Amino acid sequence: MTPPYEIRALAPTTLAELRVRDDAGAAPRTRMDTEGGTPLRCCLERSKPHETLALVSYAPLRRWARETGADPGPYDETGPVFIHPQDCGGWAGAPDGAYPEAMRGERRALRAYSAEGRILGGLLLDQGRADTPSIEEGLVRLYADPRVAAVHVRAVEFGCFHVETRRVS
């Protein structure tokens, strides 16, 4: 069964902009990831040991609003994300809308937004609890509300944006 959403990595045009100037107006900060395992929002993979990464500020709702005409108002926020400092080819997608394995984690927060840019609700996923749905099940549950236009997946511990999903027609 095809899910009612699509998973989206950061768009190539967005990445090109962030590699010059981020959404906070600063130049990217590069660093070597000595251990590897850092989630990358450009290709939805994890970094490799000793790979150079760029840390940039990203405003997911602001970018979405520019594209769709939504007005996130006070829900607009900017936060840190890691990307490759050069084009890596991006995310190729997954069959049948499967969630990217590299973006999974023990605890995730799902935030649902209306087409107008307002938060409609959310879901806390804690894989340490027996009653927690998978990310895919949580997304389907949130998209069961016809008002939901987009859901962002975030890390619980740091609140970092991981992945955007959007309703498909």
pTM listed for this prediction:
0.93
Residues found in the chain: 169
Residue found by looking up tokens 């490799």 in the block: 48
- Model confidence pLDDT, tens digit, residues 6-60: 999 999 999 999 999 999 999 999 999 999 999 999 999 999 999 999 999 999 9
Domain boundaries, the chain: 5-89+104-167
Three-state DSSP class for 96? helix
Would you state the pLDDT for residue 50? 98
| Per-residue confidence band for 117, with pLDDT thresholds at 50, 70 and 90 | very high
